[in-house]
Amino acid sequence: MGLLEPRGMRNMRTPGSAGTDPPENYLLRRLERSDFARIARDLVEVEIDRDGVLYNPGDPVETVYFPCGASVASFVLSLDDGREVDTLVVGQEGAVAGIVNQDRLPAYSRITVRRGGKFVTLEATKLEAAKQRSSAMRGLFARYADGLIAQLLQSIACNAAHSIEQRTARWIAVAIERTGQDILPMTHEQLAGRLGIGRSYASRVLENFKAEQILEIRRGALLIRDASALRAKACRCEDGLKRHLQELFASAGSRNDIERRND
């Protein structure tokens, strides 16, 4: 599982422990039943605590992690001035590491668990072998990789064009949507790091949201009181991204019907 097991990983079970039915991960559940059967015996279910590090820069990518339920992982880049910025956040809709590369290439960023919980893991070489045997599986993961690139491009545009308030509202709204919970264990400083802004800016925006009764600020956490008002404050970047992802996976379904007949 990479060079070292992630800090905070526990309850590691044997291959096949994830069961014969797809776990609570949308990407795995989009697989054809026959394709899921190709990898089911090699899936391993684990629990990883918050702040567990899956990869550091330079680590060989040997394991793919599929967040399940409310679990969330993030790609984190360190800047020259010491700040750290979350560039890509992945929840139960997808997977982290080993999606594009076919060899054990080194990781570029640190990949950190932002919300602990259940993950399903798979050796990257075994995923690649299964993809080589199924054009439908290759197509699904290629579309997911396209979705990751779209998310990065949208994030770049958002950071350049939208206000800190809009970006903060968007980030929090996406976080509660991914986890399905209205409380985020997060300090002002941590939120600032996620957005790549100064702590004072993050605190000012949160205090404004508090005054408008959109959220409550608790010790080490944010409690969302009015999700609709929060989404109204956010930019519309997420809407366009969702439409693109829906189109990608809708086309994957019709494409898979053709490829399944030809395999």
Judgement on whether residues 148 and 256 belong to the same structural domain of the protein: yes
Q: What one-letter code names the amino acid at 56?
A: N
Find how far residue 14's CA is from the centre of its chain: 24
Question: What CATH number should be reported for the domain holding residue 139?
Answer: 2.60.120.10
Which residues are paired to 76 by β-bridges? 86, 110
pLDDT for 191-217, tens place per residue? 998 888 899 999 999 999 999 999 999
Residues near 247 by beta carbon (within 8 Å), at least 6 away in sequence: none
Judgement on whether residues 207 and 244 belong to the same structural domain of the protein: no
Q: What one-letter code names the amino acid at 81?
A: D
Residues near 29 by beta carbon (within 8 Å), at least 6 away in sequence: 22
How many angstroms separate the CA atoms of 187 and 90, rounded? Answer: 20
Determine the pLDDT at residue 99: 81
Judgement on whether residues 63 and 175 belong to the same structural domain of the protein: no
Cβ-contact 99, 141 below 8 angstroms: yes
How many angstroms separate the CA atoms of 246 and 139, rounded? Answer: 15
Question: What CATH number should be reported for the domain holding residue 171?
Answer: 1.10.10.10
Determine the pLDDT at residue 183: 92
How many angstroms separate the CA atoms of 263 and 250, rounded? Answer: 20
- Does residue 108 fall inside a structural domain? yes
Judgement on whether residues 230 and 243 belong to the same structural domain of the protein: no
How many angstroms separate the CA atoms of 72 and 116, rounded? Answer: 7
Judgement on whether residues 21 and 141 belong to the same structural domain of the protein: yes
- Does residue 52 fall inside a structural domain? yes
Determine the pLDDT at residue 180: 83
Judgement on whether residues 14 and 72 belong to the same structural domain of the protein: yes
- Does residue 230 fall inside a structural domain? yes
- Tally the domains of the chain: 2
Range of the domain at 167: 163-234
Predicted structure pTM score: 0.84
Determine the pLDDT at residue 15: 64
Judgement on whether residues 117 and 174 belong to the same structural domain of the protein: no
Which residues are paired to 46 by β-bridges? 119
- Does residue 123 fall inside a structural domain? yes
- Does residue 2 fall inside a structural domain? no
How many angstroms separate the CA atoms of 112 and 109, rounded? Answer: 9
Determine the pLDDT at residue 8: 67
- Does residue 135 fall inside a structural domain? yes
Judgement on whether residues 209 and 110 belong to the same structural domain of the protein: no
Determine the pLDDT at residue 259: 45
| Residue (of 169, 168, 167, 158) closest to 232 by Cα position | 169
Determine the pLDDT at residue 232: 96
Judgement on whether residues 258 and 178 belong to the same structural domain of the protein: no
- Does residue 3 fall inside a structural domain? no
Which residue is it, tokens 């993050």? 202
Going across the sheet that includes 63-67, the strands are 9-10, 44-48, 117-123, 63-67
Determine the pLDDT at residue 168: 96
Judgement on whether residues 62 and 167 belong to the same structural domain of the protein: no
- Does residue 82 fall inside a structural domain? yes
Judgement on whether residues 19 and 133 belong to the same structural domain of the protein: yes
Can you give the pLDDT of all 263 residues of the chain as single tens digits?
444 566 667 655 666 666 667 899 999 999 999 999 999 999 999 999 999 999 999 999 999 999 999 999 999 988 888 778 888 889 999 999 888 666 668 899 999 999 999 999 999 999 999 999 999 999 999 999 999 999 999 999 999 999 999 999 999 999 898 888 899 999 999 899 888 889 999 999 999 999 999 999 999 999 999 999 999 999 999 888 889 888 888 866 545 443 444 45
Judgement on whether residues 72 and 189 belong to the same structural domain of the protein: no
